[in-house]
Structure 1
């Protein structure tokens, strides 16, 4: 009897391991939201080659589209992208992942003109959608959130935060990318931070409410992390960093983040129980969160004069690799706050994706950079021009595919296709 039970246990263990392996493989082929499945800019799957030549990375297809700042979303079979058409309507597209063929197109009225320097390259749709395997959740610039059937493009529900909450139209538009977590969506919209039921669009709770207007248009995107023993939502508003309880919306802790005109744009990144962030024309900080008797306290561990801007950094082996406001890359030791090196200037913006000790960076000038995550020196392994147009959207890496949303097109490259004999 004991032998039979042991054999059954072994079989169940093997089945569970196989299922976990298949699940991990399936997950590696999907890029379902801002900065990827874990929202930390890290990539699993096949190891990247050491160069970016046409033999190693071959363009499979390219489709011209209306302009957009939104990053692409990649499922097993499709690439989802957005655009602003004729400065009047917002459009969501589903393209066949293998061929780039149009599967469906859905559009709605939605356009506005953003102020100041933000309008320099156009007032296009900004936030990156989220995808749960069945629905695509798209944030429109006029503070709306639209749920689409991912197979057909049919609209399932829509929330107009300006209309429903009677809040002002955000000056810089809906720029913060929706966070997908289980059965809920979290958005910085309606001059606040909001939890919604992803099936219906119903608002569950609303917190971090701002008065509205110029300083309420959040740029940074929220993420989930376990900090100080508590799973919580990390939210960076225009003026502060906060931890929010996902169940009830209670603000667990908050800390002011100095910034120039509220330019807190990066998504915060974690290092143990600490959170790293940086703001435009200011500095970089590491904030530590502790808990005692059920109360959370956030304190500054160190600061560094490295001034970040729009590019969210990646964390590798206790070091943060970031792109600065002065267009240079920098590496900072997260334990000590020491800046290890600073590179020569590149473009105004770089989206960063990491795999082990390599970083793939899409430069706003249309160049793709392959960096070695080396804390001792800046190490550029290769550089390749992948677009004659600007590239402000975040690069997506899914399995062996690299998807690049240029300002007026989307391209799919494949790591392995060019290496086949």
Structure 2
């Protein structure tokens, strides 16, 4: 049968079909990685609702899932989620964003038994995947990194760091979320920090050797920033805060961060040329690295007795909003380090996002909180029960909210006309 189109044109159209169904780069509204588009919890181009009532925030769909702590990844038309089934298999699913209908599923054996004192937090997949517009990078709990074709779910490559680098399995599992910068994926895995070619899976270099195992298992996720003109990876290991050259893994600067049992967990946050971090059993710190990118220790701007834990902070209009080890929520002046206010206790963990004016926080107990970002006082605008237990990071795309509870994924949509009044 004769083709109705000239062969070159027909071939071109067929070649373009994948590009039409899945964009080559994450769009501005995509939730493509841990803590969102810029890895800082800030959502641009949207305005949060004034209320969390059923009228203002409507549930669109909900599906059951096996346990997991990975946050969802959201594109224009898909949602990617992970789960652990029967403490044996790790599963990645692509869902239709509009309906929750399954598009594809991929799985592999993956299980680990965490130490007894961490058992309350489960033996299931932890890290949030990363998405580059074509591929999905998933960290399995047994220190594996799997690259999937986001359109089809096909495994493109897989790294078993324990097998390849002969390092001990991470006692608490692969908890640090992958970071994509250019043509590389950076992960705290294999007993250190690794740069991986995102197309081939080749390990380009390994730095910050910590030995792996019990006290080498990194929790904090790496961050990319330019400080005083020097592009660098901001990496918090179990014991240090470090600036690393993305090209070759050379250490630009390093600062010890005291913490009980090395519980440096939250992702450091950058403001202009300074880095904020906080540790369990330690303090909160603001540092400014040297302008030259030399290996000298960074300048300490201030410290504060507040102790962060797992919840990564938000920086809004010169103030730090941080959920603490003692389960309270606090506001710290970024310039002076002064505590402006601290609340009574909530749950053990918050994941937070902001539109620059209001904060949406998902409490570990399943309460969704709407908070006014006010440095003068704590202003809780609304509160709504959306789950029984949730440790995964909240995701926002457009006017939709994606909540990964321990046993399900739910999508909510707010009425944008309400926010325009």
TM superposition score normalised by structure 1: 0.91
Runs of 4+ in 1 over 2 A off after TM superposition: 25-29, 291-297, 416-420
8 Å CA contact 2:242, 2:255 repeated in 1:
yes
Alpha-carbon displacement from aligned partner over 1:81-113 (angstroms, at most 9, x marks no partner): 000000001000111100000111110001011
Name the Cα RMSD after superposition. 1.7
8 Å CA contact 2:95, 2:101 repeated in 1:
yes
Q: Secondary structure at the match of 2:370?
A: strand
Counterpart in 2 of 1:6?
none
Q: CA deviation at 1:224?
A: 0.4
Q: What CA distance in whole angstroms lies between the structure 1 residues aligned with 2:27 and 2:322?
A: 26
Kindly report which structure 2 residues correspond to 1:237-386, keeping only aligned pairs within 5 A, or say none: 237-292=237-292, 296-386=296-386
Kindly report which structure 2 residues correspond to 1:154-233, keeping only aligned pairs within 5 A, or say none: 154-233=154-233
8 Å CA contact 1:92, 1:106 repeated in 2:
yes
Q: What CA distance in whole angstroms lies between the structure 1 residues aligned with 2:354 and 2:123?
A: 29
Q: What CA distance in whole angstroms lies between the structure 1 residues aligned with 2:46 and 2:228?
A: 33
8 Å CA contact 1:328, 1:346 repeated in 2:
yes
8 Å CA contact 1:126, 1:141 repeated in 2:
yes
Name the CA shift for 1:308/1:87 in 2 (closer, same or farther; >3 Å): same
Q: What CA distance in whole angstroms lies between the structure 2 residues aligned with 1:209 and 1:215?
A: 12
Alpha-carbon displacement from aligned partner over 1:289-323 (angstroms, at most 9, x marks no partner): 12249565412221111111000000011110000
Q: CA deviation at 1:150?
A: 0.7
Is 115-124 or 351-360 further displaced after alignment? Answer: 115-124
Q: Secondary structure at the match of 2:289?
A: strand
Name the CA shift for 1:293/1:325 in 2 (closer, same or farther; >3 Å): closer
Q: Secondary structure at the match of 1:120?
A: helix
Name the CA shift for 1:192/1:385 in 2 (closer, same or farther; >3 Å): same
Counterpart in 2 of 1:404?
403
Q: What CA distance in whole angstroms lies between the structure 2 residues aligned with 1:178 and 1:52?
A: 32
Q: CA deviation at 1:211?
A: 2.0
Q: CA deviation at 1:273?
A: 1.4
Q: Secondary structure at the match of 2:343?
A: strand
Counterpart in 1 of 2:91?
91
Q: What CA distance in whole angstroms lies between the structure 2 residues aligned with 1:417 and 1:124?
A: 36
Q: What CA distance in whole angstroms lies between the structure 1 residues aligned with 2:335 and 2:142?
A: 41
Alpha-carbon displacement from aligned partner over 1:124-178 (angstroms, at most 9, x marks no partner): 1000000111111100000000011111111110000000000001111100000
Q: Secondary structure at the match of 1:138?
A: strand
Counterpart in 1 of 2:140?
140
Q: CA deviation at 1:285?
A: 0.9
TM superposition score normalised by structure 2: 0.91
Q: What CA distance in whole angstroms lies between the structure 2 residues aligned with 1:98 and 1:419?
A: 22
Q: CA deviation at 1:121?
A: 3.2
Aligned length: 396
Q: Secondary structure at the match of 1:261?
A: helix
Q: Secondary structure at the match of 1:392?
A: coil
Q: CA deviation at 1:206?
A: 0.9
Which ranges of structure 2 fall in alignment gaps of 5 or more residues?
Answer: 1-22
8 Å CA contact 2:372, 2:379 repeated in 1:
yes
Q: Secondary structure at the match of 1:27?
A: coil
